[in-house]
Amino acid sequence: MKKTVAKKKTPAADLALMGLAEAVRAVAQGKVTSQALTEACLARIADWQPRVNAFLQIEAEAALKAAKAVDRARKRGAALGRLAGVPLAHKDMFYRAGKQSSCGSAIRRHWKATETATALQRLDAEGALDLGRLNMAEFAFNPTGHNVHYGHARNPWNTDRITGGSSSGSAAAVAARMVFGALGSDTGGSIRQPSHYCALVGMKPTWGRVSRANAMPLSYSLDTVGPMTRRVEDNALLMEILAGADPQDPTTSHEAVGQYVAAAKSGSVRGLKLAVPRRYFWDKLNKPSAECLEAALKTLSKLGVKIVEITPPDMEMITAAGMVMVSAETAALHAPWMRTRPHLYGDLARMRLENGLALSAVDYIDSQRWRGEAIAAFLKSMGDADAVFAPVADRPALGIKETDVADRPEAGKVVATLTRLNRPINYLGLPSLAVPAGFVRGQLPVGFQLIGRPFAEAMLYRFGGSYEAAQPIWQTAPT
């Protein structure tokens, strides 16, 4: 299948087209059954899975059984969780006891977890249904969504194009309305990049905001866990559930969890200030994307937001330091397998790991030592702004063939640049919310990212929710 054409549909025409929070309310009020929601999602999966390769495993029988249990509980008046009866799915790096978790790799193709990720436990506790494991880049270590072991995920808006990675299946599944939301991870853009390419809302939270316990590690100093959804309110709801300290992950913060849903629904950003860092972030932005983002800034300005331009610190240096950090930490994690079974890695993953193994201890220590200074410099550059507005990527989604390093080694130069606007934010440890801005040529999505101060996720949801109310991109679905 080639280009898909977007058109608007009324959510009532297909239960799977509803937003997550809307679906939760419908189940709680008895307007729709969890079984009906689940069957609608399974119908979407039957239609879309052959086209986009989002799932590695579909738990249809278990999900339907759980859905019927939710419906029975509601009928007898039992208390329901905040996600009761709504189908979600997870990137195949979140462990579930007794279940496979391949992490998108051949090495772990048959590996089964003995513990369940805290993120999954928190969703389970609120009654969410888990429809299965989602495709991902091998060991979450490439930005395109290519996977030589399980097949490439494809973008629902144009199946010849990449979803972005590494949360590729999460993006494809949510964008194609196969589930209402999904778990992703972001170490260098792996939530925000696919969200940008697939017209989704994706939160990369403050480092330490969400537990990483029993999720596959990539880079201890940079890894974050977050939700991917179609609407801002939906994302905020999942974040309220996911966020918070966890004794299983000592890096999690005891900072109070914000009222994210209330912020997303606040309806007003008048008087708030957004900073725009033209240097670095706009340097390589293509013309259609730039025009789309300028229109988004005009929308925010009409909502009463004051737009100010700022000069950020040396983002090239920040990006370089982050690359040293992720490369060294990932190489250290994979060193045993690289010694014993390097042939089981795909070419891109193996090449990146070899580069990491070549780094010195001095390089790594310098990247850690300079981090605090870089964070302080970036926050100082914000002045009194409430958040920063920036592009997520320089362009819309590229083609799968033109970014396939396995078939075209020269594509590596392009692939290496894809997350240049994301990586520095991971190094800084700051929260960043990707929000759909609109569409450009050929109905390709473009997004922007809202970057905040540490633990200021609520402020980002406030901006994102107000923009979405003015520009309801989510109402347009790929077909």
Q: Work out the angle at residue 120's Cα, subtended by the Cα atoms of residues 118 and 124, and round it to the nearest 5 degrees.
A: 115
Residue pair 208/245 in contact (Cβ under 8 Å)? The answer is no
307: left (phi over 0), alpha (psi -120 to 50) or beta: beta
**Catalytic center residues:** 91, 166, 190
What tokens does 220 get?
A: 């201890």
Q: Give the distance, in angstroms, between the CA of residue 175 and the centroid of all CA atoms in the same chain.
A: 12
Contact criterion met (CB below 8 Å) for 103 and 140 = yes
Coil, helix or strand at residue 42: helix
Which helix H or strand E contains 153, and what residues bound it? Answer: none
> How is the beta sheet containing 306-310 ordered, strand by strand?
55-58, 129-134, 87-91, 181-186, 224-229, 201-204, 432-440, 444-451, 387-391, 273-277, 306-310
DSSP 262-313: HHHT----TT-EEEEEHHHHSTT--HHHHHHHHHHHHHHHHTTPEEEEE---
Residue 368 in tokens: 């850690």
**Angle in degrees, CA 466, 185, 293, rounded to 5:** 35
CA 464, CA 462: separation in Å to the nearest integer? 6
H or E stretch including 119? Answer: helix 118-125
Q: 70 in helix, strand or coil?
A: helix
| 166: preceding bond cis by omega (within 30 degrees) | yes
